Structure formats: C-alpha cells, structure tokens
C-alpha cells in the first residue's frame, strides 16, 4: 500500500470502492493542528467530482492504469467494437463502460481506453468535443438569430441536441460530449 505522500495529480486511486482520478492534491498544515491532504477526485464511473481530506501518512490504494488509443469500428448489440491503433487487435467494450456519451460516438473516432493491471477495461474516454453533422431539424428561416432561441436537431449518430434556430440540415456543429450541449457551428471544407 502507498501513503498519501506518494499520490500526485493525475494518479488513479481506489476511494470508497470506486476508481478515481486525482485532480487536485494539496498538503496543508493549519497552525497547531495536524497536517492533512485536501483532494479533489473525479469518479471514473459516474464522472462526479468528489472532495475529501486524507490524514498525512494515511494508506491509499494506488491503481496502475494503462491508457491506449482505440478506433471505434461499429456497434454489436450491447457492446462497441474498437480496434487497437498499433496491433489492429479488436476488442468489445460494454455500453455501460462508455455511458451516456456513447450517443456522440461515430465510426472511425479515436478514443482512449484505460485498462487495469489485470488487463480489465475500466474506463473509455471520448474526446471532450466532437464535430457532427445535423441530419434532421426544422429549416432555418430568414431573420432567425443566434440569440433567438433553440430547436431540437438529430445528429448523424442519432443523438438529439438543442441548437440555435439558424442552423439547417447538413450543417456541422461542435458538441461537448460531457454535457451534450451545442458549442458552435463548424465550417467543413
């Protein structure tokens, strides 16, 4: 077991039975009280940010993870098929590991997959933003502005996102995969 002094930002630890990535790790020594570590952790399973204090010298379970790039090929029932960029080996990843962001996954997209020491898939990390084409939406009308409201649009992956009124079918937009929100229109050349 490692202690709190071995933990750094970016380390993966097991906290309350969940795998978490350390986002902030600050050593504090307040006046005449005992020293402690103030931590901000992000749960790999839920994506929620957690805050906790660890006593100085407390034992912490550090989990070694290996990050590899994989290319998305296709969906096969309840799993997604990915190909290793170096060895061209194909693996199946359960839909529950990818989570809600799976609706923004399009063919040939490259993502990071994290493996535990026992070669078990623990997390799939999509890019923060993706560029997708609008397949279905109500047509934009002359006079619609960027601040005038929004309408639902179905994207090429099947996801539905609220977009400004001036966007039309065939336009490309940038979407945040963490929140599912429209960010901006993208010019495709």
Q: Which residues of 176-188 are buried (b: 16+ CB within 10 A; e: fewer)?
A: ebeeeebeeeeee
Which two tokens mark 9? 């930002």
Using CA atoms of 21, 26, 29, 33 in order, give the dihedral in degrees to the nearest 10: -30
Tens digits of per-residue pLDDT, 21-49? Answer: 898 999 988 888 888 999 999 887 777 88
Cβ within 8 Å of residue 55, ≥6 positions away = 4, 34, 36, 37
Q: Please indicate whether residue 135 or residue 117 has the higher confidence score (pLDDT).
A: 135
Span 55-113, pLDDT tens digits: 988 899 888 888 889 999 998 888 899 999 888 899 998 888 887 888 888 888 899 88
Give the domain 129-186 fold. OB fold (Dihydrolipoamide Acetyltransferase, E2P) (2.40.50)
Q: Does the structure show a pLDDT above 60 at 144?
A: no
CATH number of 2-62: 2.30.30.30
Which H/E stretch holds residue 22?
strand 18-28
Boundaries of every domain in the chain: 2-62, 66-125, 129-186
The verdict on pTM exceeding 0.75 is no
pLDDT for the residue 40 = 93
Question: Which homologous superfamily does the CATH classification assign to the domain defined by 66-125?
Answer: Nucleic acid-binding proteins (2.40.50.140)
Query: What is the number of other CB atoms lying within 10 angstroms of the CB of residue 147?
Result: 7
Mean pLDDT of all residues in 169-183: 88
Q: Do domains 2-62 and 66-125 have the same CATH topology?
A: no
């Amino acid at each position: 077991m490692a202690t709190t002094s071995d933990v750094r930002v970016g380390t993966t630890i097991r906290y309350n039975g969940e795998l978490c990535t350390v986002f902030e790790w600050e050593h504090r020594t307040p006046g005449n009280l005992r020293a402690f570590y103030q931590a901000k952790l992000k749960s790999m399973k839920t994506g929620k940010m957690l805050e906790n204090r660890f006593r100085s010298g407390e034992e912490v379970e550090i989990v070694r993870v290996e990050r590899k790039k994989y290319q998305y090929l296709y969906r096969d029932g309840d799993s997604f098929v990915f190909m290793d960029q170096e060895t061209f080996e194909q693996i199946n990843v359960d839909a529950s590991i990818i989570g809600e962001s799976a609706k923004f996954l399009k063919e040939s997209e490259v993502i990071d997959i994290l493996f535990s020491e026992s070669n078990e898939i623990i997390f799939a990390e999509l890019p923060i933003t993706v560029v997708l084409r609008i397949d279905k939406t109500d047509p934009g009308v002359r006079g619609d502005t960027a601040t005038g409201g929004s309408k639902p649009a179905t994207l090429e992956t099947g996801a539905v996102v609220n977009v400004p009124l001036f966007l039309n079918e065939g336009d490309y937009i940038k979407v945040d995969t963490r929140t599912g929100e429209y960010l901006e229109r993208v010019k495709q050349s």
